Amino acid sequence: EAFLEMLEAGVEPDAVACGTLLCVYARRGRHGDMMLFYAATRRRGVAPPVSAFNFMLSSLQKHRLHGKVIHLWKHMMEMEEANNVVPNHFTYTVVIGSFVKAGLLEEAMDVLGKMRASRLVPEEATYSCLISLSSRHGRGEQVVMLYEEMRAHGIVPSNYTCASLLALYDKSEDYSKALSLFSEMERSRVVIDEVIYGILIRIYGKIGLYDDAQRTFEEIVSAGLLSDEQTYVAMAQVHMNARNYDKALQVLGLMRSRNVKPSKFSYGALLRCHVAREDIAAAEDVFRALCKYGLPDVFCCNDLLRLYVKLGQLEKASAFILKMRKEDIQLDEALCMTVMEVCCKSGMITDADKILKEMNNGGVTMKSSTMVSIIEMYARNRTSVMQEQDSSSKALACQTDSSALNATLKSLLDTPGGSSIACQLIRKLAREGEETRYHTDHGVHA
């Protein structure tokens, strides 16, 4: 009302008056009115002060309107030289935060560059979110650079920052740096939370320090920090790596006894444990529980299928494949290999043909060694079947059912060194029998 009275009195509002009303709108969260009024000030050629921009940016960010924060930032950059609208520390902090929330790493790093050029030192939280996003983008060198820059400014990293670094070192298998960082955290008295302990347990297990992993797990239990499903699974995985499956089951049992809600993640670990113990009944129970969360992933399907194959349960394996096909589970390279093995061992030549065709049509990426193994299994299986047929049936089989094998051979020939590998494979198969040779020759000709 006061602003309208000012206009009616013929008093032209200046930047301070416009900025004041913008701040009021921002405080109240009236972003629609705020942006309309801001557009009006732009039309009048009035540039609000930086403090008003900061109020607007902060309010928009608090309401997770990161796109509007970025939009407003671009306007500021347009006004910077002409109207002396110079971003300050707070401005840069908010804008970098919104670029990070929007997943725009390059743009966030550009703003960081402007902040550096202004000789402003970012806060730990700013470095932390940039480190986390860089890590998710696989920018390992950039993560290390940001961390070293932060430490050069004398900033002590938070446990969140350290967790991002440890996860990166774990993923890149740079375990010496991970352990070095953990020692640095202890010296700097960084509070070590359950997430960091979980990563540390996982690293200890990967480098064979099982006793250290067990000791760390017991420390978490004693400190009353144990509540995350992932920590239990990390310790169970350590025991599984050491082939101590009973202890792995004990850890997962402890999780259930403490009413930690299981997810597909822990059920997957439990399935791997029962598969390793060759306990079909328990593995099937866990798989049924997994199915309640939706379609199980290809890794779980492959684990159970491989167990059936290992124990000679081909009927169960065949039924399981039919169920997967009915539920339209997309096969990856490893699962394709296992499925083809079952089809060949069970004499399911029609299913093998269909799966090979789907595999080629679906664009499943496979290594040349996998393609060679599949071709060998397929060719031997067809040879075995054709040996039981008369000559006319053999010729018909070769003419009608070889397109799937031809496509796989062609895929092999398209790989680096594929021609040489294919020639070696054909010679090998040709030595094993006339029927195999006829079929592979037919495929190469196609």
**Tens digit of each residue's pLDDT (9 = 90 or more) over 360-389:** 666 666 677 777 777 777 666 655 554 554
Query: Quick check: 16 and 49 in contact, CB under 8 A?
Result: yes
pLDDT for residue 215: 94
For residue 177, is it within any domain? no
pLDDT for residue 90: 96
Tally of structural domains, the chain: 1
pLDDT for residue 392: 44
Overall pTM surpassing 0.75 (yes/no): no
For residue 241, is it within any domain? no
- 28: domain range? 1-120
Flag residues of the chain having pLDDT under 50: 386, 389-400, 434-446
d(CA 10, CA 340): 85
d(CA 93, CA 50): 14
For residue 209, is it within any domain? no
pLDDT for residue 360: 67
For residue 70, is it within any domain? yes
Q: How many CB atoms lie within 10 A of CB 370?
A: 17
For residue 41, is it within any domain? yes
d(CA 203, CA 225): 19
For residue 190, is it within any domain? no
pLDDT for residue 442: 44
For residue 88, is it within any domain? yes
What letters, b where the CB count within 10 A reaches 16 and e where it falls short, cover 278-299?
A: ebbebbbebbeebeeeeebbbe
SS (H, E, C) 274-303: HHHCCCHHHHHHHHHHHHCCCCCCHHHHHH
Task: Give 112-149 pLDDT, tens digit per residue.
Answer: 999 999 999 999 999 999 999 999 998 999 999 999 99
Task: Give 54-78 pLDDT, tens digit per residue.
Answer: 999 999 999 999 999 999 999 888 8
pLDDT for residue 364: 64
pLDDT for residue 108: 97
pLDDT for residue 250: 94
pLDDT for residue 373: 73
How far out from the chain centre does Cα 427 lie?
42
CATH number of 20's domain? 1.25.40.10
pLDDT for residue 435: 45
pLDDT for residue 432: 63
For residue 267, is it within any domain? no
Q: Which residue has the tokens 């296992």?
A: 338
DSSP state of 55: H
Using only C-alpha atoms, what is the Rg of the chain?
A: 32
